[in-house]
Amino acid sequence: MKNQRFSLLTTTLLLASCSMSVSLPGDAVTFSTPRGTSGAPRQETTGGATRNNGACLSNAHASKDTVTALIPNTRLGLTVSERPTVFVYVPKTTAKEATFTLQDAARNLIYRTKVPLRETGGVIRITVPETVKALEMDNDYRWVVEIHCIADLDPDNPFAEGWVRRTSVNANLAGKLETAKTSLERAMAYSQAGIWYDALGNMADAMRSQPQNSTLVKNWEELLTSVGLQAIAKSPLTL
């Protein structure tokens, strides 16, 4: 029975270099933030939503119904990808599209694109394409998703933001990835190494391949809850 109940995120992450962890009662669900990735606390909704009352959002005053970046509380997550994939929760909205922007630490534009939105809302994923220059190793990059409530790139639009830092694959992680045969196993390897974006992306890939798998759904919810995103953990993925 123990093996049957095995799940990706009930494994305690033992990272000697960790500076912070979040644990929940019952079966321990922990995501540890590697040293050096601390930053300002995540802001659930930013930008003009407070000034225009999030006019195009279903209920801008509810904690669940705010534009939210799927990142740890520090707002900075690691990736080993040259061109990462980011995830954002968008509530029910009358807006038809959003703008995704990627900048370097000095706020120089790296990439910008429009993203279509569904009226029903949900978690959207955005992948930086191969045509964009690869992220430089150990550099921090800021990304923003702005909802077009008023107009394209209007300062009063609600938005969410996060930071990403590309890091290298150490020998331990490389060995686990070499033996991993599924997206779930790769997600486990990345989560144990504290690589947030790749853990989340592979977990989403696993769910996309088996959307009715209740164990995968539970793992996804546990992962989000472990970094303080329990309010949106059950939101649908619009992949």
Question: Across-strand partners of 20?
Answer: 33
Confidence at residue 31, expressed as pLDDT on a 0 to 100 scale = 57
Confidence at residue 34, expressed as pLDDT on a 0 to 100 scale = 60
Cα distances (angstroms) measured from residue 197 to each of 57, 78, 149, 167, 200: 26, 6, 27, 11, 5
Q: Say if residue 39 is exposed, middle or buried (CB neighbours under 10 Å; 0-12, 13-18, 19+).
A: middle
* 1: pLDDT strictly greater than 60: no
Pairing relation of β-strands 76-79 and 158-166?
parallel
Rounded CA-CA distance 178/193 in Å is 14
How far does Cα 44 stand from its chain's mean position? 13
Nearest alpha-carbon partner for 125 in 184, 204, 181? 204
Categorize the per-residue pLDDT at 111 as very low, low, confident or very high, splitting at 50, 70 and 90.
Answer: very high
Confidence at residue 239, expressed as pLDDT on a 0 to 100 scale = 62
Nearest alpha-carbon partner for 189 in 201, 204, 173, 200? 173
End-to-end CA distance of the chain: give it in Å, rounded: 32
Nearest alpha-carbon partner for 187 in 8, 29, 7? 8
Categorize the per-residue pLDDT at 16 as very low, low, confident or very high, splitting at 50, 70 and 90.
Answer: very low
Categorize the per-residue pLDDT at 74 as very low, low, confident or very high, splitting at 50, 70 and 90.
Answer: confident
Confidence at residue 57, expressed as pLDDT on a 0 to 100 scale = 83
pTM of the model: 0.79
Radius of gyration of the CA atoms of the chain, in A: 17
